Structure 1
Amino acid sequence: MHAACDVLIVGAGPSGAVAAQEFARSGMRVICLEQGDWPDYSRARHGHPDYELVSRKHWAWNPNDRRGVGDYAVDDTESDISALMYNGVGGSTVLYAAQWERFQPSDFRTHTLDGVGDDWPFDYWDLEPYYEEVERQFAVSGLAGDPALPPAKAPPLPPVPLNKVGRRGAEALNRLGWHWWPGTNAIATADYGPLRACDQRAACPFGCPTGAKASVDRTHWRPLLGKGVRLVVRASVEQVLLDERGRAGGVVYADENGVRHRIEAGVVVLCANALGTPRILFNSADGSGIANSSGMVGRRLMTHPFGNAIGIFDEDLESWRGPIGQYLHSLQFYETDRSRGFVRGAKWNLIPSGAPLSMMLTTTWGDEPIWGESFTRLLRERLGRSVIWGVICEDLPDPDNRVTLNDRPDEHGIPGVSLHYRVSDNTRAMMHWHIDRVSEVLDVMGAKQKILNPIIPGIGWHLMGTAVMGRDPDSSVVAPDGQCHDVPNLYVFDSSIFPTSSGTNPVATIAANALRCARSLVARRRELEVAS
C-alpha cells in the first residue's frame, strides 16, 4: 500500500493544528481533513448597524441553530446542557472566549486527593513545559506571579486592561481578602505574528473582527499551508478503515457533493472533539465500531456546568467594552473543602456584559419581560452599568453521561449524535454554593440589583471525556500518549481523552497535551505498525 501521507489528522481545531505543526516540523507528510470550511470573517461586521443581528446567526454557538457547512445533528433532548461547538477550520477556537487557564496540579490527582474520578496517567509537572510552549503559539496575554498557581514563566504578552469593571471587582475581592489575578487570555494585547492588538470590542465569541484572538485558523493553519501541510475542507469523515490485522489504513470521507473518497495513511489521528471522535469510532467498521473493547467509547461525557451572577450598578462602568475573555479570575475556593457539602471546586471570572442586543437578547437577565414598555428603561439601566461573574464548575466523570449515534444523518448520510447527560448532585451543590459567594462579591462591589443564574442549559462549550486515556486497556480507550489500545496506529489527541474535566477552561490543556502526544508519536514513529 502506498500511503498518501505519513499522518492523517481528522479535525482542524486546536489539537489538530498543534499536532500538524509538530508533525510538519519533523518532516512528516501531513494531510488534515476538516468537515467544515474556513471562517468567513467578512461576516464579522462589528461597527455595522446589523452586526449583532447577523452575528447571532452566522456565529451562533449551537450547531443546531447555526446549521452551517460541516454541522451535523446533535440531539440534546436527553441532556441537561446543550453542546456548543464550531465545525470548521479553527474548530471552536473560532468562537471561544479565549480565557486561557492551565489546569491545577490537583486536577491531575482527583482520585488520590479526593476519592473521585481518576488520576491522570501523568501530572501537572509533566505537562508544564508544553503549557509554556503553546502559550507562545497562542499569543497568550497575562501576568506572571499568580499566587494561586505554580510558579511559571510570564506569558509572551501583558494582560488585557482591567478597565473600570475589573478594578471594581478587584477592589471588592481585596476587601473580602479573597484571591484574584489579572485574567490570562489567548488574546493579543500587542501585534503578535498574524494577530492584531485587541481593541476591546467585546466581540470575542462572534468571529473577533479585530483579528486579535488566537484562533488556530489564524495562528496555525494559514502559516502551515505554506509548509507542505495539506488541508482539505468540506471533507466529512465517515469511518476509519482497518486492514485484516486491525491496523488503521486510512479513512473514508464524503466531499461537499457527497462523493465518497478513500485516503490512505500510515497513522490516523482523531482530533474531532468529544462528540465527533466517538461519532467516527462508532461508525467505523461499517457501523460495528472500533477501538471499544473497553466499552468506554462515548462514555464519561463532561460539559463543565456554567452559571453566572449579574450585577447592575447606578454608575456607568463602560461594561460594553473589554475582552470576553476575562478581566480577572479568582481561584479562592477552587480546592476541595468537604464542609461545603461537595468535592472539588470552581473558577470565577469577571467579564463585560457587552453591547445592547448581546445583553437584551440573552435569557439570563431575570424574570422581568424585556420586550414592551419596559425595554428602553431596562436598556438604560443595564447598558454599560452591568457586569457578569461567570462560574465554571468541575464536572466529574460518569459512565452514564455519554454520546451515542442517532438516526438523524447529516446531508451525506453519516449519523448524527445524541447526548445523554445529567448534572450531578455534587455539581448542583457546588454551583449553588459558588453562586452565593459571587453574590457576596457583587454586594461588596455595590450592585443595586443582582440576577443569579445557576447552571445555564445552553452553555456546553467544554466537551470532554468520551475516549478516556489510561494505562489499563480494560477501562480506557487510549494510552497516555493518545494511542488506541486496540488499534496501534490510531491516535486520539483531543479533549475526549481527558480523564477528568478540572474546574477551568480546557483549551490550554488541549493544546499542551496535543503537543505532548504529537512529540511522543514523532519520537517513536519508526516503531509503529502500519496497515499492509
Structure 2
Amino acid sequence: MNVTSADDDTYDVLIIGAGPSGAITAHAVAGAGFKVICLEQGDYALPSDYPANFDMWELVARGHWQAEPNRRRNPADYPLEVSDTDLAPSMYSAVGGSTIHFSALWARLAPSDFRVRTLDGVASDWPISYETLSPFHDKVDDFIGVSGLEGDPAYPEGYAPKMPPLPLGKFGRRAAEAMNALQWHWWPHANAIPSQKIGSLAACARWGTCTQGCPEGAKASFDLAYWPSAIKAGAKLVTGARVSKITTDASGAATGATWISKGEERHTKAKQVVVCANGIGTPRLLLLSASERHPQGLANSSSLVGKNLMLHPNCAVIGYYDEELESWRGPAGSAASSMQFYETDRSRGFVRGSKMHACPTPGLLFNGVDPHRLLPFEDLWGPSFHQVIRDARNAIFWAANIDDLPEESNRVTLDPTLRDSDGIPAPKISYRYSENTLKIRDFTVARLSEIHRAAGAKKTIEINDLQGEPGHLLGTARMGSDPKTSVVDEYGRAHDVPNLTISDGSIFVTGGAANPTSTIAALALRNAEKLAQTLLAAN
C-alpha cells in the first residue's frame, strides 16, 4: 500500500480520537491560536438516527447502537479478542466517542482516590491531587452546564455545579426516602445534562433514553458539547480516518501519524501528537507504533503500556414496587447517588469500595430478551406480559460501580491473528476479577438489596455481573513521576517521547468507583493548557 501525504502542512498538534479528551484538547489548543487536526475513525452520529426516534426503540438499540463493538460491528469498529476476560469492554467509535452512549453521570473521583497507596497501602498514589484537578473540573462543568446541587458532603467544599439539579422524580424520591431510613449518605446526582439550555445543548426533556443517544440534544455528548466550539476556534476534524501508526524520527520524537481512509494509506505531519483513543485504543496504537528506537512499542520503556487495565465492573439490584414510580422518565442517568461505602473500611474484608446510584429501570427488552435476560420466557410473554409492563414502570434500578484496583495481569496486547477491516492487528483483552473486586461486589449487592427492603420493594432481582457496562476503560498508560514505573508524567507527556501526550482514561493510576468521564475531561483540559504553553514558548 502506498502512503500519500494527506496535505503538505505540518500541524502544530495532531490529535488521535474525537471523544471527550480529543474534543477538549482541540478546543483549548486551537483556541490558543495553534493549527490543530484531529483524526477520528468514526463519523458523526446523527440525533435523527437515535433509537428513541423509533417506535421499536429498544429493538433498534440492540443493533448498531449497542455498546459492545463485537456485537455491534459498525464499519468504524475494530474487533476485540475477548476469550480471556470476565468483562467484555464497551466503547463507541464516533465523533464524541463513547459519550454518545454514556449516561452522563458526572461524578468526580474522591480526594482519597489520588492517595490509595498512602491511605490503604495498595496500588500507587497519583502524582497530582484532587485539589490540583478541581479548577479544571470547574471550567469543564461550567462550559457544558453540569446539573447538580452544591454541598455534597462526600466532596470538599467548593464543588458547586452551575445548573440546578434535574428532578428526582417519583422513583428518585422513593430511593432517597430509603436512604434516609437507613441513615446512609445520598445526594442528587450531578449529570452532564443541562436542566436549562446552554451553548449548543438543549434543556433536558427527560426522554429517559440517554444511553442510546439523546434525541433532544440535551446530553453533553462531546460531539455537541465541545466539537462545535472547537471547529469554530479553527480545529480541523477528519472522520473515517483509522490511525495505524504514530510515526517517529531517528531521535525517537513523534513526527505525525499514518492513517487509512477508504483503503488508502495517508500520513499527516505534526510537531506534537496527542493520543485520545481510550484505555484500549491508546495502548493498541502505542504497541502498533513500535520502531527500532522503540522496540517494545512507543513510549513503552517501562513495559507498562497496556498493563493495569481497569474496567469498573458493575452490579445492580432491581426492585419492583406496587405504586406508580414513573421509572421510565429520564435522565438515565441517575437521580441520586451514594458514597456511603466508597471509602476503605477494613472491617468489611476488602479495601476501597463502590459508588451506588439510583436509576430508572431499563425497559421490557432488558428484562426479557437481552442475551443476559433476567426473566424466563414464560414469565415474560403471554398472560404475564401486562404485569411485566406494569412492573417495569414501577421499579428502581439501583446499580453500582466497583473500584477496580490496577493489576499488571489485566492488560491489552496485540492479538497475533485477529485483524480489523483494514488488516491492522486487533487488541486482545486479558482481564479477571480480583478477590478484592469480588468481595466489594458481593458486599455491594447485599447493600443494594437492603436499600430495596427499606423502600418496601415487593420483589427484587440481583444482577451480580452486569455485562455490557459501563465502558470505563482505564489505566493502561498510567501517569507518574518515575519513568520506570509509569508511561507519562503528570501532564500526560510520555517519558520516552518528548512531543507525545496521552489524554484519556489510560493515564489513570487508580480507577476509583466514580464514573470517570468528568476526571478524564479535567485531565485533558489541564494537559491541553500545558501543551499550549509549551507551543507558545517554542514559537
Q: How far 1:457 sits from its partner (Å)?
A: 3.1
Q: Which runs of 5+ in 2 are unaligned?
A: none
Q: How far 1:315 sits from its partner (Å)?
A: 1.5
- 1:54 matched to which residue of 2? 60
Provide the C-alpha distance between the structure 2 equivalents of 1:66 and 1:124, rounded to a whole number of angstroms: 37
Q: Is residue 402–residue 513 contact of structure 2 (8 Å, CA) maintained in 1? A: yes
296, 308, 322: which one pairs with 2:316?
A: 308
**Aligned residue identity for 2:400:** V
Q: Secondary structure at the match of 1:239?
A: strand
Provide the C-alpha distance between the structure 2 equivalents of 1:221 and 1:408, rounded to a whole number of angstroms: 33
Q: Is residue 288–residue 297 contact of structure 2 (8 Å, CA) maintained in 1? A: yes
239, 243, 267: which one pairs with 2:272?
A: 267
Q: Is residue 53–residue 215 contact of structure 2 (8 Å, CA) maintained in 1? A: no
**Aligned residue identity for 1:300:** N
Question: More displaced, 185-194 or 105-114?
Answer: 185-194
Report the CA distance shift for 1:128/1:117 in structure 2 as closer, same or farther (over 3 A): same
Q: How far 1:278 sits from its partner (Å)?
A: 0.7
- 2:263 matched to which residue of 1? 258
Q: Is 1:336 aligned to residue 341 of structure 2?
A: no
CA displacement, residues 175-232 of structure 1 (integer Å, 9 cap, x when unaligned) = 1111111111001111111111111111001111111100110111123222211000
- 2:410 matched to which residue of 1? 401
Q: Secondary structure at the match of 2:38?
A: strand
516, 524, 529: which one pairs with 1:519?
A: 529
Q: Is residue 163–residue 196 contact of structure 2 (8 Å, CA) maintained in 1? A: yes
Provide the C-alpha distance between the structure 1 equivalents of 2:344 and 2:538, rounded to a whole number of angstroms: 42
Mapping of residues 141-156 of structure 1, within 5 Å: 141-156=147-162
Q: Secondary structure at the match of 1:397?
A: coil
Provide the C-alpha distance between the structure 1 equivalents of 2:256 and 2:538, rounded to a whole number of angstroms: 15
Alpha-carbon RMSD across the aligned residues, in angstroms, is 1.8
Q: Is 1:26 aligned to residue 32 of structure 2?
A: yes
Mapping of residues 301-450 of structure 1, within 5 Å: 301-362=309-370, 366-369=374-377, 370-373=379-382, 375-406=384-415, 407-450=417-460
Q: Is residue 120–residue 470 contact of structure 1 (8 Å, CA) maintained in 2? A: yes
- 1:279 matched to which residue of 2? 284
Q: How far 1:404 sits from its partner (Å)?
A: 0.7
TM-score, length-normalised on structure 2?
0.95
Provide the C-alpha distance between the structure 2 equivalents of 1:325 and 1:21, rounded to a whole number of angstroms: 26
Q: Secondary structure at the match of 1:251?
A: strand
- 1:188 matched to which residue of 2? 194
Report the CA distance shift for 1:454/1:133 in structure 2 as closer, same or farther (over 3 A): same
Identity %: 45
443, 468, 472: which one pairs with 1:462?
A: 472
Q: How far 1:137 sits from its partner (Å)?
A: 2.1
Q: Secondary structure at the match of 1:525?
A: helix
**Aligned residue identity for 1:389:** W
Report the CA distance shift for 1:361/1:190 in structure 2 as closer, same or farther (over 3 A): farther
- 1:507 matched to which residue of 2? 517
- 2:130 matched to which residue of 1? 124
Q: Is residue 403–residue 420 contact of structure 1 (8 Å, CA) maintained in 2? A: yes
- 1:93 matched to which residue of 2? 99
CA displacement, residues 76-134 of structure 1 (integer Å, 9 cap, x when unaligned) = 11000011011110001111000000110000000000011110001000111001111
**Aligned residue identity for 1:361:** V
Provide the C-alpha distance between the structure 1 equivalents of 2:414 and 2:491, rounded to a whole number of angstroms: 26
Q: How far 1:523 sits from its partner (Å)?
A: 1.6
Q: Secondary structure at the match of 2:491?
A: coil
Provide the C-alpha distance between the structure 2 equivalents of 1:380 and 1:507, rounded to a whole number of angstroms: 33
- 2:77 matched to which residue of 1? 71
Q: Is residue 368–residue 375 contact of structure 2 (8 Å, CA) maintained in 1? A: no
Q: Is residue 36–residue 87 contact of structure 1 (8 Å, CA) maintained in 2? A: yes
Q: Is residue 35–residue 235 contact of structure 2 (8 Å, CA) maintained in 1? A: yes
Q: Is residue 242–residue 285 contact of structure 1 (8 Å, CA) maintained in 2? A: no
Provide the C-alpha distance between the structure 2 equivalents of 1:296 and 1:223, rounded to a whole number of angstroms: 35
Q: Which runs of 5+ in 1 are unaligned?
A: none
Mapping of residues 142-221 of structure 1, within 5 Å: 142-221=148-227
Report the CA distance shift for 1:102/1:288 in structure 2 as closer, same or farther (over 3 A): closer
Q: Is residue 489–residue 528 contact of structure 1 (8 Å, CA) maintained in 2? A: no
Q: How far 1:47 sits from its partner (Å)?
A: 5.1
Q: Is 1:498 aligned to residue 504 of structure 2?
A: no
Q: How far 1:56 sits from its partner (Å)?
A: 1.8
Q: Secondary structure at the match of 1:125?
A: helix
Provide the C-alpha distance between the structure 2 equivalents of 1:18 and 1:47, rounded to a whole number of angstroms: 29
**Aligned residue identity for 1:508:** S
Aligned positions, number: 528
Report the CA distance shift for 1:276/1:301 in structure 2 as closer, same or farther (over 3 A): same
- 1:298 matched to which residue of 2? 306
- 2:44 matched to which residue of 1? 38
- 1:6 matched to which residue of 2? 12
- 1:477 matched to which residue of 2? 487
Provide the C-alpha distance between the structure 2 equivalents of 1:363 and 1:65, rounded to a whole number of angstroms: 11
Q: Secondary structure at the match of 1:249?
A: strand
Q: How far 1:393 sits from its partner (Å)?
A: 0.8
Q: Is residue 131–residue 508 contact of structure 1 (8 Å, CA) maintained in 2? A: yes
Q: How far 1:415 sits from its partner (Å)?
A: 1.2
